[in-house]
Structure 1
Amino acid sequence: MKELAYYDGTIGTPEEVTVPFNDRVHFFGDGVYDASVGGNHQVYLLEEHLDRFYSSANALGIIIPMEKDKFGRLLTELLSKVEGNTHFVYWQVTRGAGARNHVYGEEMRGKLWVMIRPNLLKDPNAPIKLITMEDTRFFHCNIKTLNLIPSVMAAQKARKEGADETVFHRGDMVTECAHSNVSILKDGIFYSHPNDNYILRGISKTHMIKACYRLGIPVIERPFSVSELMEADEILVTSSSNFCLHANAVNGRTVGGKDPVTLKKLQDEVIREYLNYTGKESLFD
């Protein structure tokens, strides 16, 4: 099939699979999610994404109705049913279905969802444009919750302004993007916000830091300011479906482009890791 949907044991196309009216996702966004790239019908960095998924669910007391290993096998099996070589693999769990009530029975068992569709990775050599926006989200950004309205608003604002992504900041402290992590290179050093409750722990960001260590690039995990962002040698934007993009504009002002050699080394290294993991020959096949 070209696209696949799964809900609580039912498999079909997105048009065929239905969700019960009383699923708590409809009333409260009560659930968590994760996602990755599928390459050669392998879910990239599956174990790490599952670890984050189960940690997010645990933080909200959501009972995932399947053991981690079994669910990993299910994701791989579902991916094998979808045509193509590169996919977006998305999954979530909601707390379950029941009459609308803010409180819930702690014995409720969650409902698993999966969506798989063809995907094209962005060219890491093509620069992107960013805007900035005050971060007014809540203080549990480390949980990959389904409550994404602030990120939706920020992403839509970026589109209206002709940009590709929005960088959040609290006061002068940069946190992350609407649906990515943001890091900078300055004087040969890689700077990135630490994994606290202001950001989601990005798996692609973690692997970029590991790539820095392999390449001998110093890493400092500390908050950096909007001013430091604007004056950085390079601005790097990472997500599970785009491993190492770079920006050349923020709020219409030209940025970056001062350390293309280090940038290219990092891009090549994270792409090499992806190709080795999936057995693909090219990022775009």
Structure 2
Amino acid sequence: MSRTVYLNGAYVPEEEAMVSVFDRGFLFADGIYEVTAVLDGKICEFEGHVKRLERSLGVLDMPMPVDKDELLEIHRELVKRNNLDQGAIYLQVTRGAADRDFVYPKNVKQTLVLFTQAKTLTDDKAGIKVIAAPDIRWGRRDVKTVQLLAPSMCKMMAKAAGKDDAWMVEDGFVTEGSSNNAYIVTKEGKIVTRNLSNSILHGITRSSVLRIAAEMDMEIEERAFTIAEAQDAAEAFITAATTFVCPVLEIDGATIGDGKPGPVATRLNTVYIEEARKGAI
């Protein structure tokens, strides 16, 4: 059975969901997206994702296509219609369809698409292996646009090397993973992650995990770090909306710690899932 997707006010079978070839998301990557986790049929971190969506749209001079309450109802209806217990809801807003022109069109109806993806989120995290790759993305990585070719290329570089993902490097320092925020844990037990700026995505899971770590009296330092420092760390891990907290076991061929998921990442993942379940709506 095919999924039911949401497209511009209608719930339709995925085979019938069609978008114009003149849509600016297709022609210019002129759009914003969000991915929200679903646990036990409930939406996780909804408020954070909506706030980031509003911020990203604002940078591109686009309004919200529907208000927050209606957006929540769309999420819930998709969960219901697709009988989704665990997984994700993908949301995309584009400026809409108009004849091809670099200038933003006026009085064009936006395109709003949402669909579900079933995925087990709460399994034990075995850990991943990453490589370093040059960060060739545009300068506003804090805006969650649909122009994801550069991260996709980095991911494919990792796959070609027999690894799981890439940590992108700019001016000698790690920015983030291809679709996640990056962290190390020093031998002294300090969590280090890149500070917020235009250089990285302001992760919703990142924010929650750092809050949880602070509440657990873990020391946190938000600064740039190098691949060499990461290779010498006691632990490394990533965070993202549908991976939660996932250990990194190897970086550019160097084993991190004892090559097994470390206690900090494992504990943070457990507590994050507990908190996400409590706050899901």
Q: Into which bin does the TM-score normalised by the smaller protein fall?
A: over 0.9
8 Å contact from structure 1 (residues 50, 72) kept in 2: no
Consecutive unaligned residues of structure 2, counting only runs of 5 or more, are: none
In structure 2, the residue matched to 1:152 is 152
CA–CA distance in 2 between the matches of 1:84 and 1:197?
34
CA distance in 2: counterparts of 1:16 and 1:115, whole angstroms: 13
Q: Deviations over 1:46-79 (max 9, x none)?
A: 1111111111111111222211222122222222
User: Deviation at 1:87?
Assistant: 2.1
Match of residue 211 from structure 1: 212
CA distance in 1, matches of 2:97, 2:166: 34
The one-letter amino acid of 2:230's match is L
Q: Does residue 93 in structure 1 map to residue 93 in structure 2?
A: yes
* Structure 1 contact 133–168 (Cα < 8 Å) conserved: yes
How much is the aligned-residue C-alpha RMSD, in angstroms?
Answer: 1.8
- Judged with a 3 Å threshold, the aligned counterparts in structure 2 of structure 1 residues 189 and 106 are, in CA distance, closer, same or farther, namely farther
Residue 172 of structure 2 corresponds to: 172
Q: Distance in 1 between matches of 2:109 and 2:63?
A: 5
Q: Hey, what does 1:63 align to over in structure 2?
A: 63
Task: Write the deviation string for residues 171-226 of structure 1: whole angstroms up to 9, x where unpaired.
Answer: 21110011111111111111111110000011111111011111110111111122
2:167 pairs with 1:201? no
Maintained 8 Å contact 1:63/1:109: no
User: How big is the shift at 1:7?
Assistant: 1.4
Is 1:262 the counterpart of 2:277? The answer is no
Equivalent runs, 1:246-261 vs 2, <5 Å: 246-257=247-258, 260-261=262-263
Residue equivalent to 1:283: none
- Amino acid of the structure 1 residue aligned with 2:10: T
3-state DSSP of counterpart to 2:61: coil
Equivalent position SS for 1:69: helix
SS in 2 for 1:102: coil
Alignment size in residue pairs: 279
Shift of 1:124: 4.1
Check whether the contact 2:5–2:78 (CA below 8 A) recurs between aligned residues: no
Does residue 16 (structure 1) correspond to residue 29 (structure 2)? The answer is: no
Identity %: 26
SS in 1 for 2:15: coil
TM-score of the superposed pair, with normalisation by structure 1: 0.92
Task: Output the TM-score relative to the length of structure 2.
Answer: 0.93
- Report how far residue 231 of structure 1 moved: 1.1
1:111 aligns with 2:111: yes
The residue identity in structure 2 corresponding to 1:172 is G
Instruction: Kindly indicate whether the alpha-carbon contact (under 8 Å) linking 1:3 and 1:118 is maintained by their aligned counterparts in 2.
Output: no
1:9 counterpart letter in structure 2: G
**Which structure 1 residue ranges, 5 or more long, are not aligned?**
280-285
The farther-off stretch of 78-87 and 231-240 is 78-87
In structure 2, distance between residues paired with 1:255 and 1:28: 40
